Structure 1
Amino acid sequence: MSNIAFIGLGIMGSPMAVHLQNAGHTVKGFDLNPSNAQKLVDAGGRAVTSIADAVRGADVVAVMVPDSPHVQAVLAGEKGVFETAEPGALIIDFSSIRPDVTQELAKQAAERGFRLIDAPVSGGEPGAVNATLSIMVGGSAEDFAAAKPFLDTVGKTVVHVGTNGAGQTVKSANQLIVATNIQALAEAVVFLEAYGVELGPALDVLGGGLAGSAVLNQKREKMANREFAPGFRIDLHHKDMGIFTTAAREAGLVTPAGSLIAQLVASARANGDGHLDHSALLRGVERLSGTLNKEN
């Protein structure tokens, strides 16, 4: 059993930290919002008030924060992980950030005697709660092997995809596919409703054929009920699509569908939907079609 510092206890980080505590590890959690630590405390973990307190005595440091600047601040900032963690600590960054930022942070970590892997996840809040996340891991084979028991505790599909930054690159591809599927499902829902087709049976039969997907299974009820409490916010998917389109451009790639989806996500955010679940791309289809009920 290990001493684990878990930094970032939001929608995803909180259940992940609880799973690690329940597995028998000793987990200390830190979040800028102290109330986010309550579920970890209820599971027997500890809430602390700073990164330095969290990493003191920890042989594993897990990070789950929203964006590249947040990870840079947590790891390389004043009184951050690099300044205060135990020598040789294994750092597992579950955040979804730019691949080049991960590569630079991994270099800095190695220079300071730490081991760092990028381990972004897919599966949203249900995957975090049920410990069924898909985790794409970038880093050395040795560091992956050291981290795998912890990854297996919070995820179901855990795959080493390459060196540092590879995990983030695969996550970018994942976010392209997810957003495209959500947009297609949203358009299908609006289309079916426009013709008076009963939505439940229609989605049942679509889900049983080639059109079936994890997106359809997880997002159909949110769309049908127009209930968009966030499992994964549009704000975050907007950030992820920016990572994808920037990296694709830097590689000289032409990604017409990806560019269009990125603009549709940006439009949803610009229209005030950034705090909603990404299934609220449905509202964008309705907005463009003139059928949006502004009370929903």
Structure 2
Amino acid sequence: MLRVGYIGLGLMGKSIARNIMKAGYPLVVYNRSKGSVEELVAEGAEGAMSPADLASKVDVVFTNLPDSPDVFAIVFGENGVASTIREGSIFVDNSTIKPSTAQQIAERLWAEKKVFALDAPVSGGDIGAKNGTLSIMVGGDETALEKVMGILKATGKTITHIGPAGAGQVCKATNQIMVAAQMVAMGEMLVFSKKCGVDPEKVISAVKGGAAQCWTLDVKPQRLFDGNREPGFKASMQSKDLGIVMDTAKEYGVPLPTTAVNAQLFQSMVQTGQGNKDNSAVVGVLESMAGVRIGK
């Protein structure tokens, strides 16, 4: 059985790594803060001293890190994955990063180490990560994907090969365009209802049965009505992802006028100290503008 290493045990990464271990794969883990490492070691994983130490012990290296520079540094920096990863191993990145960075990593790992790299960003939030029901969008070599498919099936329900290196990240960027649009639209409908003197909870119950039905309306409104704005997915990460979208759109000459406005709304959350709240809490920016409050 393939030995698996997982680097980056944050809100999503720890649950993904745990599901890999539950599926029976020998697991080695590394994280800069040690609490999550100790937690998984207590459940049967092996801890690593560095990314290089981890890569020397496994057949497949996964990463799940905040942004493009973080992934590049973990792979090619001092004591990085590339310093010890063996020829024939596979590198899989669950992070959301720039498509161009994913392409650079894949090209360099193959040229220097004869290691295939898959960009495999995920969608589904903390709930999907815990339940192993994530949607995984993969760019890279299809043969390499087949070799790690069993591992991915332990973490996701929908696994789609999108195309060559970087294609998975392009797909994730499109996902974040839609997610941001839904979060902002939901916030607008709730604030609109409240400001017009209509019960937002009844509005949600009504429109969920029609053409407006979507995952966001199924999952997020009740949390907001209960006053819960703690993250499943942090607004700061949504803002970062939209930055990737806009940078990539500029690179390819794609106009994204609505996404540009949504990116500004999430950036406003970060700038006003609300980046650690859930991405659905973008409703707070709209509440401030309208002078109303949704829920408790």
| CA displacement at 1:37 relative to structure 2 | 2.2
Does 1:255 find its partner at 2:248? no
Aligned with 2:78: secondary structure?
coil
2:74 corresponds to: 74
Moved more, 38-47 or 276-285: 38-47
Partner of 1:128: 129
Where does residue 86 of structure 2 map in the other structure? 86
Shift of 1:171: 0.4
3-state SS in 2 of match to 1:273: coil
- 1:1-296 alignment, distance < 5 Å: 1-111=1-111, 112-291=113-292
Amino acid at match of 2:277: L
Aligned amino acid, residue 269 of structure 2: A
CA RMSD of aligned residues (A): 1.5
Distance in 2 of aligned mates of 1:168 and 1:268: 24
Residues 5-42 of structure 1, C-alpha deviation per residue, up to 9 Å, x if partnerless?
10000000001000010100011111111002244224
Distance in 1, Cα, partners of 2:96 & 2:159: 16
Q: How far did 1:292 drift?
A: 5.3
1:95-151 CA-partner distances (Å, limit 9, x unpaired):
000000110110111011211000000011011001110011000111121121111
Count of aligned residue pairs for this structure pair:
294
The question of whether the paired residues in 2 share the 8 Å contact of 1:222 and 1:279 is answered with no
Work out whether residues 236 and 276 of structure 2, in 8 Å CA contact, stay in contact via their aligned partners in 1. Answer: yes
State the 1:214 CA deviation: 0.9
Conserved 8 A contact 2:116-2:141: no
For the 8 Å contact 1:8–1:31, the answer to whether it is kept is: yes
Segments of 5+ residues of structure 1 without an aligned counterpart are: none
Query: After alignment, is 78-87 or 161-170 more displaced?
Result: 78-87
Q: Distance in 2 between matches of 1:95 and 1:37?
A: 18
Give the 3-state SS of the residue equivalent to 2:91 in structure 1.
strand
Query: For the residues of structure 1 that align with 2:127 and 2:42, how far apart are their CA atoms?
Result: 20
Deviations 1:243-294 (A, max 9, x none): 111111221221111111111111111111111111110101111112359x
- Can you give the 5+ residue segments of structure 2 that lack an aligned partner in the other structure? none
Select between 43-52 and 247-256 the one with higher mean Cα deviation: 43-52
Give % identity: 35
Cα shift at 1:193: 2.3
Q: TM-score by structure 2 length? A: 0.95
Per-residue CA deviations over 1:50-105 (Å, capped at 9, x if unaligned) read 21222222001010001001000111111100002233211110000000011011
Distance 1:222 1:256 in 2: 29
**TM, length-normalised to structure 1:** 0.95
